[in-house]
Structure 1
Amino acid sequence: MKRYTRRVFLRSSVMGLALATLPADGGWKSEVVSHGLSAKSLNLNTDWLFGGEYVPGSTDLDFNDKEFERVTLPHCVAHLSWRNWDPKSWEKRWIYRRHFNLPDKLGNIRFFLRFEGVMTGASVYINGQLIGRHLGGYLPFKAEITQLVSSGHNVVAVIDDARWGLDVPPDRPGPSTSSESVAPEISHLQQMQMQSSKIYRRAYLPETPYPSSSVDFWQPGGIYREAYLEAVPPIFIADVFAKPVDVLDSNRRRVEVECTIDASVVPRDPVQVQVELYGHGMRSSISRTASIRRRGRNRVMLTITGLEDVNLWDIEDPKLYELRVTLRYRGKYLHSYHTRIGFREARFTKEGFFLNGRRLKLFGLNRHQFYPYAGGAMPARVQRKDAEILKKELNCNMVRCSHYPQSPHFLDACDELGLMVWEEAPGWGYLGDQKWLGRALRDIKQMIIRDRNRPSVIIWGVRLNETPNDSSFYSKAQAVAKALDDSRQTTGAMIGSLYATKDFQQDVFSYNDYHKNGNWPTLNPPRADYPYMVSEAVGSLSGPYHYYRRTDPAEVQSAQATAHAIVHDIAASDERYCGLLAWSGFDYESGTGYVYEEVKWNGVVDLFRVPKLGAAFYISQVDPRVRPVIEPGFYWDFGPNSPAQGPGENALIWSNCDRLELFVGEEHYASVEPDSDSFPHLRYPPFRVDLRVDGASKPDLRIDGYLQGRRVISRRFSSDASRDRFLLTVDDAEIRADGSDATRAAFRVVDAYGAPRPFAGGEVFLSLKGPGDLVGQSPFPLGDNGGVGAVWIRSQQGKPGAIHIRAEHSDLGNATAMVRSVSGRRA
């Protein structure tokens, strides 16, 4: 272990006002992080010291931490594989420490410590003194530490309580958190049957503490998002809500701006507040004076008009505008706040969903934020990549952030890409005691305040996922949402017999629909009394199979795409469906329901963010003028694990072309057109073809795609495994040398033309040279994931240079790639 030696200095100008004072109780202030806060801000992501399990005294100022491990945020407390996660490895209390220095003359500056997310509870100390405790792993929290820091050396210590059963959503503590008394396991299907009953709410759940496997997703502990030290003047802008109004009427279009000013003193003269909106050749501004009449929070309202030339935010053209609020006192600059907004109108109606006045069918998937090896502790670039996969590869126009507020970096990418978002507060199938419910209301409030300036967020999930009825609590949740943001509608995902309930307090009725018709999924019709959306479908419950692994037979893998296409076809058949968000986008680690090796394999993309055969349907649903697509719903393979006669008589090819020509062994085999009879409502139905062929000669397959008589795409596939090769690719050519940034390196066995070779085995040995670290497993057992795997390459702090990754397959040789780690913001 290396002893911590680096000291980081924060410089800030001196303000001519008195120092702020801490609240008398020293607890966490109920504040929400503002990403637009423009101040002297010290990034606290580097130089943390991680001591492992908490030991008494480790929060003291003079505690000897020389044996602690130096780590960078985001950080996970446990060493995780890509499967078989064991919650016992993280469900403990852990200790982090961070040293920092402040200048000799601090001046009249207020200091705040801010954490974007700690899983799940945090006790934070400054220079040995407890400043507060926070419960909840999915939203930021901050506290003022002005009176506790001093010039020179300071230490922040964090006890991370990652134990299960804390009395906060989504945990299920029951009346006792004793690990010696646990409830019997119940399946997701049993919960569906129980949730609408009195037994579920009033007797069974509250009486017994549940194990962590009673929630559908693991929650690895750690300071798994970023941390900051902020220095601001005694009067500063704490929050800005910029609400576009009447966006479709160019004459009435305006932005109503609510500025929250935090003052530790009451100045003699008014302050000046200026709001500027600019972007895409447009600039507009307004200013006014405001009297600060009391210490604490003061609200100032302004309205920007003259916005006739604004461009709307849309899924195909997501225009964003910069908004800057500047605070001055006696003509001198004090502080500024930056945020981004977009102009769009999103309306859920009984007749469907409308974006900017036009009908649009919502088409998307649910997303969990957890990753192999790291849990949720992945940096901005990796979080953003998921949004790119959903929008650019899977052609989704919406994502549901199930079942908690997700990384701001993921949401940044959604804003920029035009990917609409359902954001919901933490929760899963359970309502706790009054303290638990109070924290759920707090989460709803903080979620909305954190993200209400985002145009991508079109609806708030303020009814917690799959929970029983509680009209009192959900009336309060609705009131909180409308008080904070009356520009968006609200919803909550219902399940089971609650489809017909009248006890619903939110605006849009969303339903997790896992009905089946024989072996295939089907959907209930839309309710007529609410705008109606399908919030989950298929998954492990209503598809033809419970698992969709690359090690499963090809017909199992292919059936996943068919199941997703079936439910989207039904949703497209009736305009009263606002849309459908299927389950799920990505495989994820879980300990309940249909799991294998502690993984839910119901994603159309695997843990390593590589699309499966199940993704072929989504990949094909794009305008061919943007990207012509041919994605077979099968593998062209005659190996020992594949059918000897090929893909079979009902092989599906997912494509957006209007005609396909197939060639087997260079001989013309078939001309096929889309199967509109089976999928009459899909924009781009699949092609069905009889591909029972003799594979003894290992023939190639060629598929040519045509639009209006013109060939626009051609793909080839080899069945000759002797020509296979080993492929290694990286997502990004450059990353930042900050010790946190990372990029994915994916590897797989492919055929001679680059198509995936199914069921490939062998081991992959990985190594790095240069200033980077490997986040992953070596050797990697390729056969355990059907021939595909990935690791992530993380930079080293302050060490730019070329990072070379080498992947050696036990049978097919090696492949190499290079990532350049660069200083500054260039990456």
Structure 2
Amino acid sequence: MRQIKFINSNWLYRAEFKEEYINGNINENDFTKVDIPHTNIELPYNYFDEREYQFISCYAKRLNLDSNNKGKKIYVDFEGVMLACDVYLNGNHITSHKGGYTPFSADITDFIKYDEENILVVKVDSTERKDIPPYGNVVDYLTYGGIYREVSLRIVDQTHINNIYTRTYNCLEESKKLEVDVEINNCGNDDKFNVSVQLLDNENVLYSVEKELEINKDMSINTLQIDDIKGLELWDLDNPKLYSVKVELRKDNEVIDSYSDRIGFRDAKFTTEGFYLNGKLTKIVGLNRHQSYPYVGYAMPERVQKKDVEILKYDLGLNLVRTSHYPQSRHFLDRCDEVGILVFEEIPGWQHIGDLDWQALAIKDVEDMIKRDYNRPSVILWGVRINESQDNHDFYTRTNKLARELDPVRQTGGVRYIHKSEFLEDVFTLNDFAHNGGERVFITQKEATGLDYKVPYLVTESNGHMYPTKSFDHEAKAVEHAHRHLRVINEVLGSEEISGTISWCAFDYNTHSCFGSGDKICYHGVMDMFRNKKYAAYSYASQKDCKDGIVLEAITEACRGERDGGGIIPFSILTNCDYVKIYKDGEYINEYHPDRNTYKNLEHPPINVYHILSSDLNLPVSDEDKNAIRNFVINKVKTGNLVDLTPEDYNFFGQIAARANITVPMILGVVYKLAGGWGEKENMLTIEGYINGEAVISKTIGELRWRSGIEVIPDDTVLSIDKTSYDATRVVVKIVDSLGNPLKFNNEFVEVEIDGPAKVMGPSKFGLVAGTSAFWIRTIGEAGEVKIKVKGMYFESEAKIDII
């Protein structure tokens, strides 16, 4: 039977490579002990030299295998090494691999010394080699370096299962079908074996089939089928039901190998009418994701990878993620399967297409990507075109052909920004950056395709570099950023020719010098690099059903000095409540409802506040004139002209003043003050959100506030040492005001102290960004309680995590 042993602890690492290391001539004093995932160098948050990670390094691991394993096949399985590598065992070259985003195996069987120490050495080339995708020209992201995904030892019989590929059919019918290709590697002689396939729900066998097969030497594919499957639940966004397929290989009634994977029964198809999931027309609303993190680049373990999925699904309410621009961690995709979020997965690349050898590597990426993630119900579309590249008929004919041969069920897409590009895929996928703040949000499908007929069509990027926004930007920019994302969502929900939109992007990310803001960061995310929300994140979160979490966020600092021209109105509230009530300094002002005229297609349009005038107005005028003044203010604020009055406006106020025997300046003074302008004491607003007539949430914002303390909030309060690698979690740090809100313009310095069996990933001293930041801590192989203390300039706070 197979054995899988994860070998992620206690590697030796050196940031250079010498030929003498191949033969195991390694002085441990010259090396550092590291655990996998590992980045070849920790980088600063920003303003670093991107060449810092572009070097050749050495990893070494001591392996001990006893003679009980003789006669077995033994592989070292690498999940991701950036960007190229050579693997050696005991001085023997085992294999080379080019490309950092797909797994590969090193067969070390013939070079093992049993019952004594073996030295596994990996030469890792993290230079940006032009012969390997995505490189060859400029690339708008960093690839970092190192053995940044897990490594395992696989011990199997001479004849063993290499992989399985499952396909489900007739998912919308009562009687379903399961087809399983079993890829068997026979390193012995031709022989007969029994192969069985079981469909399980948890540990319960639902259906099974078995065949005796002649297994030829070398690699072969053997197909088994289960018909008339009934009574199953479909994998869906709200009910991501997973089953297991278990394949066993027997010889003389003895199980010599067993292989399992999870699957889901679901029907997913892009059509000219839109995207259908299980027969239901489903609008796609998603974001693109880079798999990078501050300081450690790509090197994050399982829990942190999965947390990103939970952010996208639960915090933002998305139903799809695009793995821009490469296959991402299996842990990330595992969680997509588990929670019900769709995936558009694509091969590595960015605009550039290299020579024929380069293209051959890209075609291999297509194969490796599909084979790795074949069984995932979350993956609905294979991206077989280099992101934003020029047309290349021969190359893309080959990538599409291979994808369809490997997977006859899923469709292909190819992300382009060129209009009227050659359409070889099943779905025309376009990066559409037409929206620049004006009325036009997307181009038409015909403009995009140049075709006189409709095709399956998906917008794969928008916004992003068109309006980069930092978490600490001026309020007006942050607000416009949020509204641009709202317009994109609104437009796609109302479109009959677009299946959905995947905006750019979820998180800020490090990039090369020719992109970003000059500090090696693209501030294109709706969240920052630490996964903290900008206003635009609430454009998505507010569209959630309230049963999935109530959202109420006024996207304003409510401070008149932050606004051009002063005042605090107008402002928007992003919420999934039915309506809100606002109180100013404790006095009820009004009830406010969503703007369904501007955002006709949103489930939860923003609520726009154009006045905060009390019903009394503190003026000795009639109720009719009070209503007239309030409506005047609302109309003027909507056009931005409250302080730019016309002669007709003065005449309007003059008539009211004459009727009440007061002066026009008296009316204007009250209006400007009560509308939140200059000359009034601090404005404090309490916003109550209502659902079905009941108050369900409340938030207070305004000017009368002060720094109150530090919040230290771990994503997880329990970590495990029983993992395939080290465990880790994020800890959010906020400087908050007396109302509990983060202080957006605070950037003070904080220091982290750890007491217990854990350590900080990255620096333990850093400045806050927009009053908020985060850091990650990881386990070090021991159980116990961890006390985390964060000290600021004026406050300190603690949190605890248990490691079990």
Q: Closer, same or farther in 2 for the Cα pair 1:726/1:642, shift >3 Å? A: farther
- Residue 129 (1) aligns with residue 92 (2): yes
Q: Which residue of 1 aligns with 2:456?
A: 531
**2:789 aligns to what?**
806
The amino acid of 2:462's aligned partner reads A
* 1:182-202 deviation line (CA, Å, top 9, x unaligned): xxxxxxxxxxxxxxxxxxxxx
Aligned position for 1:708: 692
Q: Secondary structure at the match of 1:493?
A: strand
Q: Taking structure 1 as reference, are residues 89 and 593 closer, same or farther at Cα in structure 2, changes over 3 Å only? A: closer
User: Which amino acid letter does the alignment assign opposite residue 73 of structure 1?
Assistant: I
Q: How does 1:39-78 map to 2 (within 5 A)?
A: 39-78=2-41
Distance of 1:476 and 1:300 partners within structure 2:
25
1:160 matched to 2:146? The reply is no
| Of 677, 690, 693, the match for 2:597 | 677
Q: Which residue of 2 aligns with 1:380?
A: 302
Tell me the residue number matched to 2:69.
106
Give the Å deviation of 1:806. 0.8
Contact 1:587-1:600 at 8 Å conserved across structures: yes
Contact 1:631–1:655 under 8 Å retained in 2? yes
Deviation (angstroms), 1:646: 4.8
Poorly superposed stretches of 4+, deviation over 4 Å: 517-521, 640-646
Partner of 1:247: 171
Structure-1 separation of matches of 2:522 and 2:228: 51
Which residue in 1 is equivalent to 2:188?
Answer: 265
Judge which range, 799-808 or 56-65, deviates more. 56-65
Out of 730, 733, 756, the residue aligned to residue 717 of structure 2 is 733
Distance 1:630 1:595, change over 3 A: same
Displacement after TM superposition at 1:642 (Å): 6.3
Q: 1:769 to 1:596 in 2, by over 3 A?
A: same
Alignment partner of 2:336: what SS?
helix
| Corresponding residue of 1:759 | 745
Q: In the aligned structure 1, how far is the partner of 2:388 from the partner of 2:397? A: 17
Task: State the shift of 1:519 in Å.
Answer: 5.0
> SS of the residue aligned with 1:389?
helix
Distance of 1:629 and 1:48 partners within structure 2? 45
Find the aligned partners of 2:72 and 2:494 in 1 and give their Cα distance.
60
Q: Is residue 201 of structure 2 the alignment partner of residue 217 of structure 1? A: no
The alignment status of 1:661 with 2:586, answered yes or no, reads: no
Q: Is the 8 A contact 2:476 2:563 kept in 1?
A: no
1:794 aligns with 2:713: no
Aligned twin of 1:816: 798
| TM-score relative to the length of structure 2 | 0.88
- Aligned-pair identity in percent equals 34
- Native 8 Å contact 1:515 1:521 kept in 2: yes
Partner Cα separation in structure 1 for residue 719 and residue 440 of structure 2? 43
Distance change in 2, residues 1:665/1:623 (3 Å)? same
> CA RMSD of the aligned region, Å?
1.8
Residues 95 and 521 of structure 1, relative CA distance in 2, 3 Å threshold = farther
Q: Is the 8 A contact 1:616 1:632 kept in 2?
A: no
Q: Secondary structure at the match of 1:432?
A: coil
Kindly indicate whether residue 179 of structure 2 is the aligned counterpart of residue 256 of structure 1. yes
CA contact (8 A) 1:403 1:427 kept: yes
Structure 1 position 805, deviation (Å): 1.0
In structure 2, relative to structure 1, the CA distance for the partners of 1:646 and 1:74 (3 Å cut) is: farther
Match of residue 666 from structure 2:
none
Moved more, 402-411 or 739-748: 739-748
Alpha-carbon contact 1:121-1:161 (below 8 Å) kept? yes
**8 Å contact from structure 2 (residues 195, 213) kept in 1:** no
- Does structure 1 residue 171 correspond to structure 2 residue 135? yes
Q: In the TM superposition, what is the alpha-carbon distance from 1:288 to its structure 2 partner?
A: 2.8
**1:688, 1:721 → 2: CA distance?**
24
Partner of 2:289: 367
d(CA) in 2 for partners of 1:520 and 1:586? 26
1:249, 1:452 → 2: CA distance? 22
**Cα distance in 2 between the residues matched to 1:133 and 1:374:** 25
- Structure 1's unaligned 5+ residue stretches are 1-12, 14-38, 173-209, 823-827
Q: What is aligned with 2:618?
A: none
Q: Is the 8 A contact 1:48 1:71 kept in 2?
A: yes
Query: Following TM superposition, by how much is the alpha carbon of 1:637 offset from its aligned partner in structure 2, in angstroms?
Result: 4.1
Residues 672-720 of structure 1 deviation map (CA, whole Å, 9 limit, x = unaligned): 1111111111111101112541586434321112233222322223533
SS in 2 for 1:625: helix
Q: 1:624 aligns with which of 533, 546, 552?
A: 546
Q: Distance in 2 between matches of 1:339 and 1:280?
A: 12
Contact 2:167–2:180 under 8 Å retained in 1: yes
Match of 1:234 in 2: 158
- Aligned residue for 1:187? none
Q: How far apart in 2 are the matches of 1:116 and 1:625?
A: 38
Aligned AA (1:479): K
What's 1:198 paired with? none
Structure 1 residues 731 and 386: CA distance shift in structure 2, 3 A: same
Q: In the TM superposition, what are the counterparts of 1:309-328 in structure 2 within 5 Å?
A: 309-328=231-250
Aligned to 2:755: 769
Instruction: Supply the distance in 1 between the matched residues of 2:201 and 2:67 (Cα, whole angstroms).
Output: 41
Structure 1 position 555, deviation (Å): 1.2
Q: In 1, distance between residues paired with 2:749 and 2:256?
A: 59
Cα gap change, 1:688/1:516 in structure 2, threshold over 3 Å: closer, same or farther?
same
Counterpart secondary structure, 1:567: helix
Q: How does 1:527-606 map to 2 (within 5 A)?
A: 527=446, 528-541=453-466, 545=467, 547-591=468-512, 592-606=514-528
Residues 728-761 of structure 1: CA deviation (Å, up to 9, x unaligned): 1000111123662110011011223322221113
Query: Are 2:209 and 2:226, in contact at CA under 8 Å, matched by a contact in 1?
Result: no
Deviations 1:478-521 (A, max 9, x none): 110011101100001110xx2223x2210000110011356576
Note the C-alpha offset of 1:107. 2.8
State whether residues 286 and 302 of structure 1, in contact with CA within 8 Å, keep that contact through their aligned partners in structure 2.
Answer: no
Greater fraction of residues in helix: 2
Partner SS, residue 15 of structure 2: strand
Larger radius of gyration: 2
**Residue correspondence of structure 1 range 502-513 to structure 2 within 5 A:** 503-513=422-432
Relative to structure 1, the CA distance from residue 596 to residue 757 in structure 2 (aligned partners, 3 Å threshold; closer, same or farther) is same
Out of 31, 54, 78, the residue aligned to residue 115 of structure 1 is 78
* Match 2:113 to one of 141, 150, 159: 150
Counterpart amino acid of 1:688? N
Equivalent in the alignment of 1:421: 343
State the distance in 1 between where 2:702 and 2:797 align: 21
Q: Which of the residues 417, 420, 434 maps onto 1:515? A: 434
Secondary structure of 1:703's counterpart equals strand
Classify the secondary structure of the residue corresponding to 1:478.
helix
C-alpha distance in 2, partners of 1:294/1:272?
13
CA shift digits 1:401-457 (9 cap, x unpaired)? 000000000000000010000000001101000000000000001100100100000
**TM-score relative to the length of structure 1:** 0.86
Counterpart AA for 2:419: Y
User: What is the SS of the residue equivalent to 2:20?
Assistant: coil
Amino acid at match of 2:125: D
Q: Distance in 2 between matches of 1:153 and 1:249?
A: 57
Residues of 2 paired with 1:518 and 1:644: CA distance? 21
Quote the offset at 1:136 in angstroms.
0.1
Instruction: Tell me, yes or no, if the aligned pair for 1:521 and 1:566 is still in contact at 8 Å.
Output: no
Note if contact 2:196-2:248 (Cα within 8 Å) is conserved in structure 1. Answer: yes
